[in-house]
Amino acid sequence: MVGLGRSGVALARFLRARGDRVRVVDRQPASKLGDQLALLPEGVETILGGYDDGVLSGCEEVYASPGVPWDADLLRDARLKGIRIGSEIDLFFRHCPAPIVGITGTNGKTTTTALTGAILARGSRPVLVGGNIGETVLDHLDEVTPEHWVVLELSSFQLESVERPKPAIGVILNLTPDHLDRHGSFENYVAAKARLIQFQDAQDHAVLNGGDAACRKLAGTTTAQITWFEREPDPPMPVPGAHNLLNARAAAAVGRLAGIPRAEIDAAVAGFAGVEHRLELVGEWGGVRWYNDSKATNPEAAIVGLNSFVGLPVVLIAGGQGTGFELAAWIADIRRLTSAVVLIGDSAELLERELAGHRSVQRARDLDHAVELAAGRAEAGGVVLLSPGYKSFDWFTSFEDRGRRFKDRARAWHAARTA
């Protein structure tokens, strides 16, 4: 096994439970892997802090975590030796006895996955939700029966690692450039996403966004029955944003294909509170609503978040880590839709240049400073929106870490002023 993250631990448990000898390798030292190491079952060999292709000695299969590039040197060496390459999600697809709903796309995956799970739970069959959201599904494989629905959020990294992904229902929400540092080109990225529906047959369903040009082209790559989800009736989606209305239509289309009555679909959507880090309402203080949209890790996602509050005075907190993004459309929307901007992270200097002439642009020293600056510029009836448009790995360990720390800082700042 290459890479000891959450999926690596799940893999080790699964493989040891079936009697396999397991060797785990990771370039990070043991001092940085303590939490994961503590969760490994007995009998797992570990090689940490670096490795070479000698670790393949005696191996019959190699499994890679999603963070390991699919063309990594060690995986290439394994292929040359005729060793089968797989992943946690690949094993799950191979062994899952239940029909799978696979959901992918550049933006909106988590919200759509969570909402799809809520809709299917209105039916008579048990539901398991996982993949790139929540807990690793391999840990729950022994709980799954043929009567279940399994709903999986699937990233491009996961999809390229599955030999033959074949969901009963495959959903592709949208496709815009992302993870090009990993895939090399937009075409390769689309090809990874398209694998979700390429192995389906005429009994399966591909649920696609006909309003997205790249998605529309994928209809010719599958023999599944096509459903254009943007044509679904508008459900009563309580989470803000036109994009979330599209996410709700996609989830509703899955529910309809699964035989869930329309009244139950509408009830599930109406009761949906959203998911953490996706336009999540943190609180309202002094007539200003604060939103955590930390999952907006690229400009396209940040555009969607910003356009959820058209007509309101918005203080935007933006910036982070990443290169190669097309910024023009996002910058234009920031100029048009924000009353003030607070910049954070590695990209702050670049964004400050791009926003020259904007009515109010300030750079923050750290997250506490960003909250303080945003509060000082916010107007009653308006919004403070953390929607960074960049990855999180400059100041934070993950977008979840960034979002949770933002929520903590915002609540603490306001609590200190009302004490």
- The Cα–Cα gap between 380 and 14 comes to 53
What are the structural domains of the chain? 6-86 (3.40.50.720), 90-270 (3.40.1190.10), 280-418 (3.90.190.20)
- The Cα–Cα gap between 69 and 65 comes to 9
- Of residues 121 and 324, more confidence is placed in 121
Q: What is the DSSP string of 314-376?
A: EEEEE--B--S---HHHHHHHHHHEEEEEE-STTHHHHHHHTTT-S-EEE-SSHHHHHHHHHH
Work out the average pLDDT over 147-161. Answer: 94
Q: What is the band of 234 on the pLDDT scale with cuts at 50, 70, 90?
A: confident
Output Rg (C-alpha) for the chain, integer angstroms: 22
H helices then E strands: how many in the chain?
16, 16
Would you state the structure tokens that stand for residue 244, as one six-digit string? 């979330």
pLDDT of 69 reads: 86
Measuring CA to CA, which residue among 197, 187, 193, 203 is closest to residue 220?
197
Could you tell me the maximum CA-CA distance found in the chain, to the nearest angstrom? Answer: 66
Work out the average pLDDT over 372-393. Answer: 97
- The Cα–Cα gap between 1 and 88 comes to 10
Using an 8 Å Cβ cutoff, are 355 and 335 in contact? Answer: yes
Catalytic residue among 107, 148, 174, 179: 179
Share of the chain above pLDDT 90, in %: 78
Is 132 assigned a catalytic role?
A: yes
- CB under 8 Å to 15, separation ≥6 — which residues? 1, 22, 63
Instruction: Kindly tell me if the per-residue pLDDT of 43 is higher than 80.
Output: yes
Helix (H) or strand (E) holding 169: strand 169-172
Work out the average pLDDT over 40-67. Answer: 91
Would you give the distance in Å from CA 237 to the centre of its chain? 20
Using an 8 Å Cβ cutoff, are 302 and 296 in contact? Answer: yes
Q: What is the band of 107 on the pLDDT scale with cuts at 50, 70, 90?
A: confident
Q: What is the band of 419 on the pLDDT scale with cuts at 50, 70, 90?
A: low
pLDDT of 313 reads: 97
264: left (phi over 0), alpha (psi -120 to 50) or beta: alpha
CB atoms within 10 A of CB 394: 16
Q: What is the band of 184 on the pLDDT scale with cuts at 50, 70, 90?
A: confident
Is 179 assigned a catalytic role?
A: yes
Of 119-128, 174-183, 232-241, 367-376, the one with minimum mean pLDDT is 174-183
CA distances from 111 to 102, 211, 383, 414 (A): 13, 19, 21, 28
Q: pLDDT tens, 334-357?
A: 999 999 999 999 999 999 999 999
Work out the average pLDDT over 42-68. Answer: 91
pLDDT of 180 reads: 64
Instruction: Kindly tell me if the per-residue pLDDT of 109 is higher than 80.
Output: yes
Tell me, what amino acid is at 71? D
Angle between helices 299-306 and 328-337 (to 10 degrees): 20
Using an 8 Å Cβ cutoff, are 169 and 197 in contact? Answer: no
Would you give the distance in Å from CA 307 to the centre of its chain? 20
Instruction: Kindly tell me if the per-residue pLDDT of 241 is higher than 90.
Output: no
- CB under 8 Å to 103, separation ≥6 — which residues? 109, 112, 113, 116, 131, 151, 152, 153, 154, 171, 173, 250
Round the average pLDDT of the chain to a whole number and report it. Answer: 93
Catalytic residue among 107, 109, 247, 295: 109
pLDDT of 324 reads: 83
- CB under 8 Å to 51, separation ≥6 — which residues? 25, 27, 74
Q: pLDDT tens, 282-305?
A: 999 999 999 999 999 999 989 989
- The Cα–Cα gap between 257 and 101 comes to 11
pLDDT of 243 reads: 84
Measuring CA to CA, which residue among 168, 28, 31 is closest to residue 98?
168
CA distances from 153 to 130, 305, 331, 343, 345 (A): 6, 20, 30, 31, 28
The 8-class DSSP code of residue 212 comes to S
- The Cα–Cα gap between 108 and 104 comes to 8
Work out the average pLDDT over 368-393. Answer: 97
- The Cα–Cα gap between 333 and 304 comes to 10
Residue 290, strand partner residues: 283, 384
